[in-house]
Amino acid sequence: MAELINRPDLMAKATEEIDRVVGKDSRLVQESDIGRLNYVKACAREAFRLHPLAPFNAPHVATQDTTVGGYFIPKGSHALLSRYGLGRNPKVWPDPLRFDPERHLENDGGVDEVALVEKELRFISFSTGRRGCVATVLGTCMTTMLLARLLQCFAWTPVGGNKTVDLSEAEDGLSLATPLMALPKTRLARHLYPVV
């Protein structure tokens, strides 16, 4: 959300896609729309790449001798993957610090549906293999629905007259140094907002 708030042109593209797929002022995004919300998923995928929740994945132990990418890994080794390093590897991701959802639309190898899963481990979302996430479908659904509805229901701007959100990372982690504050403005007909 912070990256999108700083790039209103990208946010507009995502919102336009939602309006095109779902229709304006008729209903909220549903699970059945997810297959056609490729730009929204590309935004989420780009956020997974550039802003992993944690710097490393959970450690795993090699159960047998193996070779990965030309490196010999003896049985019993503890393997730690750097989520931060993989997602920002300039050999794989040109201009890696740039938030650019389009890169996932260009590089999907002819597959016409964007997925949040990254089986090649060019970055880590759900990881892969035997210890990979067991809930990739549910996780994809939750992530896409949440982002899509936030964008569908509200136009977002920074607070306090600021033009942009400060994206500096905290010194002791990968979260924002200052919490994200943003101003939502409704953009749909009133009857579409549930009364609480």
According to DSSP, residue 169 is labeled B
Nearer to ligand HEM, 58 or 196 (CB): 58
Q: Which of 15, 38, 125, 144 binds ligand HEM (CB under 6 A)?
A: 125
Task: Please choose, out of 7-15, 28-36, 127-135, 165-173, the segment that lies near ligand HEM by the rule CB under 6 A.
Answer: 127-135
DSSP string, 55-99: SBPPPEE-SS-EEETTEEE-TT-EE--BHHHHHT-TTTSSSTTS-
> Do residues 48 and 54 lie in contact, with contact meaning Cβ atoms separated by under 8 Å?
no
> Do residues 78 and 97 lie in contact, with contact meaning Cβ atoms separated by under 8 Å?
no
* Both tokens assigned to 129: 């293999």
Task: Note whether 135 binds ligand HEM by CB under 6 A.
Answer: yes
Q: Which of 62, 133, 155, 192 binds ligand HEM (CB under 6 A)?
A: 133
Minimum gap (Å) between residue 134 Cβ and ligand HEM: 5
Sites for ligand HEM among residues 105-124 (CB under 6 A): 124
Residues near ligand HEM (CB under 6 A) are 57-58, 124-127, 131-135, 138-139, 143
